[in-house]
Structure 1
């Protein structure tokens, strides 16, 4: 009964595996609700805004994290504590995403749409970590798809 209202996005997992996407979602939702100032250094957020932001953040973290950070009552302090705890995810996630990108092969997928979905998932993850994949790199990955090569040969 504790979670009667639906979450706007997935709660932060205790492992931190979803930290990068959680941060993005949390910032977007806080800004959309006019509470973005509550997690910024030197902001002039009102006590009401801070309280609403704190409720929002606590509602979107794992139950174990709630109990670990139970004494924190300021959203900025909680935000920084979670950042300090999980911000290393970029250093873990980026090499994994690079590895997946390097080893992405069309023949490992049953359909073009599965391959395309995997390619976009990997590039999104890399962008989330601050590394962009160019359109040329993406085209180079699709250059070796047999059916696309046939289609381009017929088009010429």
Structure 2
């Protein structure tokens, strides 16, 4: 039982639908362990400065956070940077599937559809995070406009009052709600 090591975050699934969050988690953990450079491949003019031990640690970490099927598919890979690049090539295109769905969710998001401010806030942040992982950032002003423009029709006056307050930070608006 001493050989069991828990995962810091969920493993990469075979379909790669969690690739964007998985890749972000990998980068953060490896940066914290000072071995993120092992993910960067060297070039003929600038060879990689990664020592073999760091490559092995990074490779082990990547494989430990992949589903069994993916481990078997990439079993022959002995370089962390090569594995990282191969996974990126395979799954990065999924952002083009995930991003339109997140954009559609953003369009359909309405403050009036939620029972509590907390539920709305959580959903808004989840959509914004997905968009950010896909390369689209959402400003505080966009979040404020989205929130105030989607109040229930019976609360239009409340929306106007909040607009007149001139909130510049989304968090301040949520606190006021």
TM (norm. structure 1) is 0.90
Counterparts in 2 of 1:8 and 1:148: CA distance versus 1, 3 Å: farther
Counterpart position of 2:35: 35
For 2:51 and 2:80, the matched residues in 1 are separated by 12
**Per-residue deviation, 1:97:** 0.6
TM (norm. structure 2) is 0.80
For 2:106 and 2:4, the matched residues in 1 are separated by 40
Structure 1 unaligned regions, length at least 5:
none
For 2:156 and 2:146, the matched residues in 1 are separated by 11
Counterpart position of 1:76: 81
Paired positions, count: 156
**Per-residue deviation, 1:40:** 0.5
Q: Pick from 152, 158, 171: which aligns with 1:150?
A: 158
For 2:110 and 2:87, the matched residues in 1 are separated by 36
Structure 2 unaligned regions, length at least 5:
43-47, 166-177
Counterpart position of 2:18: 18
Q: Secondary structure at the match of 1:87?
A: helix
Instruction: Return 1-10 or 126-135, whichever deviates more.
Output: 1-10
Q: Pick from 122, 127, 130: which aligns with 2:127?
A: 122
Q: Secondary structure at the match of 2:59?
A: helix
For 1:20 and 1:103, the matched residues in 2 are separated by 23
Bigger Rg over Cα:
2
Counterpart position of 2:142: 137
For 2:37 and 2:77, the matched residues in 1 are separated by 18
Counterpart position of 2:115: 110
